[in-house]
């Protein structure tokens, strides 16, 4: 089959690879309904994360189960499933505590920018719908797999509640999903920090009440102005750079909480600033599995349309252009037809 392989930074190809096979009795093989490119795929693509050997890319997926291993109990061929980028048994102490992304058996999904993929720990990782959903819901269900699940976790970790004031740092796909999540959780004020007209527009569609285009000190002043000099009770950090963490800390009120889901690159913390600032933080790879049943329900009931975040659709064969478009920020998020 043709699939996506990153050979070295900047060198992404659609090329012939072996079809996935059941390797362990707890595996499943799925036929993907669609795939997509993640903002985090850009880290190795840009050379900010080492590429030691050719990598099969892709960790966001939904589709039909075609085969299961001998020990798979609940997942069956023919089911439509959505899974997380973290593969988890959903039964160890960390999973039962709701942190499936720290599962004792955790693995990270790969090879999903392809027509078929192997999913390890199928019973723990995959959530099936009761029937095969209509094709028009596939982009929304695909978004649940990572980008919505991650934005949702950012809002959950930042303790967004009914009536909250929320700042979202980052207008990438995850930040936009954080806006949607905050809205669904009942936030009263959602301030999206964004400099790009098309992303501002989408943020408003997803529920942002205010847009702040300024960054750095000016951005912080604007947030203070909008919050009566106080800062926000919940801040979602959805980028992962030193500047964005700085912004998130400065926008948060004393006693406020920062949910951080951008993978930190070059970020370090000043202990005294955290101590005297009285900031609470929770983040890391999102335990998407915890949220999957609820988020899939919201999509199936057409309460939310997270698939709107895909603003470019390409056939898998044109994956090179997809990476380029996201790298150059011409596209927010690229869906791949497989």
User: Could you tell me how far CA 263 lies from the centroid of its own chain?
Assistant: 11
Tell me whether residue 95 or residue 295 sits nearer to Zn ion (CB atom). Answer: 95
Tell me whether residue 125 or residue 145 sits nearer to Zn ion (CB atom). Answer: 125
Tell me whether residue 33 or residue 125 sits nearer to Zn ion (CB atom). Answer: 125
- Going by C-alpha positions, the residue among 309, 8, 279 that lies closest to residue 141 is 309
Q: State the nearest-atom distance from the C-beta of 234 to Zn ion, in Å.
A: 28
Tell me whether residue 97 or residue 269 sits nearer to Zn ion (CB atom). Answer: 97
Rounded Cα distance, 81 and 122, in Å: 10
Asked if 112 contacts 30 with a C-beta cutoff of 8 angstroms, the reply is no
Q: State the nearest-atom distance from the C-beta of 246 to Zn ion, in Å.
A: 34
Percent helix, strand and coil across the chain, each to the nearest 5 = 35, 25, 40
What one-character DSSP code corresponds to residue 18?
P
Q: State the nearest-atom distance from the C-beta of 83 to Zn ion, in Å.
A: 14
- Mention every residue, 6+ apart, whose C-beta is less than 8 A from residue 297: none
Determine how many CB atoms are found less than 10 A away from the CB of residue 271. Answer: 7
Q: State the nearest-atom distance from the C-beta of 65 to Zn ion, in Å.
A: 21
Binding-site string for Zn ion from residue 54 to residue 93, where x marks contact by CB under 5 A and - marks none: ----------------------------------xx--x-
Please list every residue from 87 through 146 that binds Zn ion, using CB under 5 A: 88-89, 92, 95, 103
Tell me whether residue 127 or residue 203 sits nearer to Zn ion (CB atom). Answer: 127
Strands 280-283 and 252-260: parallel
Query: Which residues partner with 256 through β-bridges?
Result: none
Asked if 292 contacts 144 with a C-beta cutoff of 8 angstroms, the reply is yes
Rounded Cα distance, 61 and 78, in Å: 16
Q: State the nearest-atom distance from the C-beta of 288 to Zn ion, in Å.
A: 13
> DSSP letter string over 30-52?
EEEEEEE--GGGHHHHTTSS---
Q: State the nearest-atom distance from the C-beta of 73 to Zn ion, in Å.
A: 16
Q: Side-chain half-sphere of 261: how many Cα atoms within 13 Å? A: 34
Q: Which two tokens stand for residue 246?
A: 């700085």
Q: State the nearest-atom distance from the C-beta of 101 to Zn ion, in Å.
A: 9
Q: State the nearest-atom distance from the C-beta of 86 to Zn ion, in Å.
A: 10
Rounded Cα distance, 109 and 117, in Å: 9
Q: State the nearest-atom distance from the C-beta of 24 to Zn ion, in Å.
A: 15
Number of residues that bind Zn ion (CB under 5 A): 5
- Mention every residue, 6+ apart, whose C-beta is less than 8 A from residue 45: 6, 9, 10, 12, 323, 327
Report how far apart the first and last C-alpha atoms of the chain are (Å, whole number). 10
Binding site for Zn ion (CB under 5 A): 88-89, 92, 95, 103
């Amino acid at each position: 089959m043709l699939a996506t392989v990153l050979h070295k930074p900047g060198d992404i190809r659609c090329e012939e690879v072996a079809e996935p096979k059941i390797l362990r009795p707890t595996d499943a093989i799925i036929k993907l309904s669609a795939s997509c490119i993640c903002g985090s795929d850009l880290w190795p693509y840009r050379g900010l994360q080492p590429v030691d050997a050719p990598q099969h890319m892709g960790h966001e997926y939904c589709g039909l189960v075609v085969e299961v291993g001998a020990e798979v109990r609940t997942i069956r061929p023919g089911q439509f499933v959505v899974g997380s980028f973290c593969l988890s048994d959903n039964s160890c102490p960390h999973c039962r505590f709701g942190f499936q992304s720290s599962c004792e058996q955790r693995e990270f999904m790969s090879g999903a920018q392809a027509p078929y993929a192997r999913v390890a720990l199928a019973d723990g990782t995959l959530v099936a719908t009761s029937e095969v959903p209509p094709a028009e819901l596939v982009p929304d269900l695909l978004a649940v797999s990572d980008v919505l699940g991650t934005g949702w976790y950012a809002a959950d970790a930042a303790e967004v509640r009914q009536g909250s004031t929320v700042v979202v740092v980052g207008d990438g796909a995850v930040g936009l999903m954080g806006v949607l999540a905050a809205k669904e959780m009942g936030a009263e004020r959602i301030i999206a920090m964004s400099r790009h007209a098309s992303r501002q527009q989408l943020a408003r569609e997803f529920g942002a009440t205010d847009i702040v285009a300024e960054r750095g000190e000016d951005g912080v002043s604007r947030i203070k102005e909008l919050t009566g000099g106080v800062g926000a009770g919940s801040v979602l950090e959805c980028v992962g750079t030193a500047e964005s963490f700085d912004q998130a800390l400065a926008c948060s009120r004393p006693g406020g909480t920062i949910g951080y889901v951008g993978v930190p690159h070059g970020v370090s913390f000043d202990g005294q600033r955290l101590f005297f600032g009285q900031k609470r933080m929770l983040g890391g790879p999102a335990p998407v599995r915890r949220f999957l049943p609820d988020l899939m329900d919201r999509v199936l009931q057409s309460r939310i349309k997270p698939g709107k975040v895909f603003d470019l659709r390409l056939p898998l064969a044109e994956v090179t252009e997809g990476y380029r478009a996201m790298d150059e920020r011409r596209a927010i998020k690229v869906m791949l037809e497989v």
